[in-house]
Every structure is written in structure tokens, then in C-alpha cells.
Amino acid sequence: MGAKLFSWPKVLFLLLMGTVSSCDMEQEIEVKLPVLPAQMVVECYLENGQPMRLALSESAGYFDQPQAVRVAGATVTITKNNEPPVMLRDTLWVDEANQKVYTHHNRRIVTAVPGDVFTLLITDLKGRRLTGKTTVLAPVPFDSIGYKFNDKPDQSKEAYLLVRWKDDGATKDFYRLLAHKKDSTGVDSQLDAELNDRLRNGMKITYTTTYWFEPNDTLTIKLFHVEEPYYNFISSVEDARRANGNPFAQPVTIKSTVAGGFGVFTHLNYQARQIILK
């Protein structure tokens, strides 16, 4: 009785107008990206007991084909404290076990104690200069490592991993926790987490995974005590990985630990332990 009757000619007119106006909403926009000069890109991890080695390449344009462009004629040196600089030779070397390719290396074995400072200097024929600095941190020991299986049948049985360590309340600390199976490497980690002590300074830090591991898995667990610039680097890399292909994610800028280019230069100090899930 009180229902309102629609005027069909008016409704049809509105629908047609909406269709026409929506067609005008699609516009092609040409975005002109600035042409930036290529910069040096470095990846160098110093580790006690290992030789000095790094990968050096050049940055490329956004729409260029993905490829590693080597830097010709670069001079690369690493200096520990006030000792004479060690020169890394321009020699291609492939680490098949860890699926890495290095462009410069020196057989000098890295030996360092907490507090030592390493400095990286790279110059090339184009007049570019890249520098980096890293301070050796003390390794943080594990407090405990445990695991627990669920109550499902054997064919569905899985375990979660629990790792705990004590944080130093006198310092601002950052960590990276890795775990990989015996038949894999750090390239194929089962666990890769970055953590800090912002909310747990001076307390025991506990990290627990989901039910992920299987019976008889042999796991190597590594706890890295890392510097803040390297923590920011790996966090930004992970944020960029999650944002890749996501139209709703904010653009992410990789945070380098070096100046005058892109990349990372750091010393890695860690504790490692192997366990078998029985």
C-alpha cells in the first residue's frame, strides 16, 4: 500500500548514464622513470674460520633483463682494526654447496674477537667509491632447545620447535634465528626469523614455531647475534619479498649497510646446535 513505484524510463536513463561515465574512467597513464646511474652492489659476509670473499656487481634499470653485471677494474680491500689492508683479487669463485658466486676473494682466514672492527673499501675505474664497516659481536649461547610432537597418527605427526636464550639487558640487541635440515643448506632454511629485544630487554627470549617438523628430522639451529644495520637489511629484504606481486602492499626500499652503493657488509657470529627429532 505504501510502497514507492519506480519510474522505469528514469531508472533506465540512470543506468545508461552510469555505463557511459564508467567507460571514461579508464585512462592510460605513461609514467616516465628517471634514468639513474648504475651503482656498485656488494654482498660480503665475514665469518671466523672462512676466507675473505665477496660478490660485486652493478645495479640495473627497473625494466632491464635480470643479470649480474660485473664491475671491471675494481680495487677491493678489507682492513681489521689498524692492521694493513688485505686486498681481494678479482677472481670468479663458485660455492656450489651454498649456491653462491663470488667475484673477489683472498685466502686469508678471518680471525676476530668481539670488539674488532672491519672496514671495506671498494673503488673502480669510474671513480665510484663504496665503503662499509662492521663490528664483531659476541655470540649469544642457547639457554635451551626443545620440541614437541602433536597427538595425531604417525602419518600426520609433526613437531614444533622451541628455542630460548638470555638477552643482555645492558645492550640493544638484534638476532637472526635459522634452522635447516641435514640434507639442505642455509639457502633452503626451514626457519628464518629476525628478532630484537625491544620488548624483552634483559629477559629470556623464547621463539616457538608452528607444527612444521617431521619425526627423525635432523636440524641444525643457528642463533646469530647481529648488528642493527644488518637486522634492518634482512627485515627490509623480507618485507620486499612479501610485498612482491601484492597490489595492496606499500613499496619497500632495501636498507643497505654500506655507503656509496647498495648491499651488505657484516661479520657473522653465531652459536650452532644440531638435534634429532625422535
Q: What is the CATH number of the domain that holds 246?
A: 2.60.40.10
At 95, is the pLDDT very low, low, confident or very high (cuts 50, 70, 90)? Answer: confident
Predicted pLDDT of residue 62: 54
Residue 107 maps to a domain: yes
Task: For residues 104 and 182, state if they share a domain.
Answer: no
Q: Which of 80, 105, 135 is the last residue of a domain?
A: 135
Q: What is the domain extent for residue 218?
A: 142-254+268-276
Tens-place pLDDT, residues 202-212: 999 999 999 98
Answer yes or no: do 128 and 206 share one domain: no
- Within a domain: 74: yes
> pLDDT at position 96, please?
80
Closest residue by Cα to residue 177 from 138, 215, 212, 206? 206
Same domain, 54 and 127: yes
**158 and 272 share one domain:** yes
Is the domain of 202 the same as that of 243?
yes
Which helix (H) or strand (E) element contains residue 228?
helix 228-243
Asked whether residue 192 is domain-assigned, the answer is yes
Residue found by looking up cell 634499470 in the block:
61
Cα–Cα–Cα angle for 50, 52, 57, rounded to 5 degrees: 130
pLDDT in tens, 192-204: 999 999 999 999 9
What value does the mean pLDDT take over residues 103-120? 97
Q: Is residue 30 in a domain?
A: no
Indicate the residue among 135, 157, 185 that finishes a domain. 135
Q: Are residues 168 and 231 in the same domain?
A: yes
Residue 78's closest CA among 91, 70, 68, 88? 88
Q: What is the pLDDT of residue 5?
A: 36
Q: 237 versus 11: which is more confidently predicted? A: 237
Q: What is the pLDDT of residues 6-30, one digit of tens each?
A: 343 443 344 434 444 444 556 666 6
- Are 166 and 248 contained in the same domain? yes
Confirm whether 87 is domain-assigned: yes
pLDDT digits (tens, 9 = 90+) for 33-84: 566 788 999 999 999 999 999 999 998 765 556 566 889 899 999 999 999 9
Confirm whether 193 is domain-assigned: yes
Average pLDDT over residues 124-139: 97
Residues 113 and 162 in one domain: no
What mean pLDDT comes out for the span 238-247?
Answer: 74
The whole-number pLDDT of residue 242 equals 75
Q: What is the total count of domains within the chain? A: 2
Q: The whole model's pTM is what?
A: 0.81
CA-based radius of gyration for the chain: 26
| Residue 26 in domain | no
Q: What pLDDT is stored for residue 224 in this prediction? A: 98
Is residue 148 located within the same domain as residue 207? yes
Q: Are residues 211 and 122 in the same domain?
A: no
Per-residue DSSP letters for 23-69?
HTT----------PPP-EEEEEEEETTSEEEEEEEE---TTS----B
Question: Within this chain, do residues 48 and 112 fall inside the same structural domain, yes or no?
Answer: yes
